[in-house]
């Protein structure tokens, strides 16, 4: 392996880790193994701290391929709690409002999910990494500032209802770059004349890379010790 020339690694991002923390950990182990102070390492698509699953990490010259991977189709398994909302649309913030769910049936959920398949407009969450005048939306939202975000066009290829157990549902979503599953949860709740927020999220696929192809971050150091590593002197 030659980490300076470029390697592509697949990880299962741990719960509560930021994407940045995963990159830092991988960079630390590679730098230590190579005996260098610095090496380029980047990820091809952010996952929220409360999400787990497929994360593609590129090193060295392979970081030029990050954009290419970002455009690959992604698949998620999402757990939604119906009848309640949070300001972040997930468990980062406490429930701020509750809504009726008595009118919701499995048939209504399945019919509603179909409305989201295809090209849709989605307003990103205020608690997101979107930039407004050079500032991250989540920094403004956490200060209590107004966060005016414009709707973005994206594509949902598939939505499948996996489990229906009110107030919880579990869905599989196949979608394009730029899709916020938290915002999708918000919109599904509204479309059901109720509310919803995300209580669990796993990214199960990016392009052809599946979760079963991914390594645990905690296993990386031991894995690295077993590799034949080529060192490029510059």
Active site residues: 48
Secondary structure (3-state) at 225:
helix
The residue whose two tokens read 């969450």 is 125
**Cα dihedral 218, 78, 211, 27 in deg (nearest 10):** -40
C-alpha–C-alpha distance, residues 96 and 234, integer Å? 55
Q: Which of 192, 179, 198, 188 is CA-nearest to residue 78? A: 198
**Cα dihedral 64, 68, 69, 70 in deg (nearest 10):** 100
- Determine the angle formed by the axes of helices 106-114 and 181-191, rounding to 10 degrees: 120
The residue whose two tokens read 């390492």 is 41
Q: Do the beta carbons of residue 233 and residue 4 sit within 8 Å?
A: no
C-alpha–C-alpha distance, residues 47 and 13, integer Å? 8
Q: In this structure, what token pair is assigned to residue 103? A: 């009118």
What residues have CB less than 8 Å from 192, skipping those under 6 apart?
82, 104, 108, 109, 112
């Amino acid at each position: 392996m030659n980490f300076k020339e470029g390697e592509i690694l697949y990880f299962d991002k741990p719960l509560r880790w930021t994407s940045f923390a995963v990159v830092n950990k991988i960079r630390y182990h590679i730098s230590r193994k190579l005996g260098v102070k610095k090496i380029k390492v980047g990820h091809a698509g952010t996952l929220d701290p409360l999400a787990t699953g497929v994360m593609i990490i590129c090193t060295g010259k392979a970081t030029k391929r990050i954009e290419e991977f970002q455009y690959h189709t992604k698949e998620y398994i999402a757990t939604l709690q119906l009848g309640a909302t949070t300001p972040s649309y997930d468990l980062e913030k406490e429930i701020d409002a509750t809504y009726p769910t008595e009118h919701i049936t499995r048939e209504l959920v399945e019919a509603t999910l179909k409305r989201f398949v295809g090209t849709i407009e989605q307003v990103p969450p205020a608690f997101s990494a979107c930039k407004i005048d050079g500032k991250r939306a989540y920094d403004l939202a956490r200060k209590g500032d107004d966060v005016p975000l414009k709707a973005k066009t994206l594509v949902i290829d598939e939505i499948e209802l996996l489990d229906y157990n009110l107030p919880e549902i579990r869905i599989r979503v196949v979608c394009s770059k730029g899709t916020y599953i938290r915002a999708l949860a918000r919109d599904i709740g509204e479309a059901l004349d109720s509310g919803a927020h995300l209580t669990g999220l796993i990214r199960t696929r990016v392009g052809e890379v599946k979760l079963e192809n991914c390594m645990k971050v905690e296993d990386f150091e031991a894995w690295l010790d077993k590799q034949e590593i080529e060192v490029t002197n510059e």
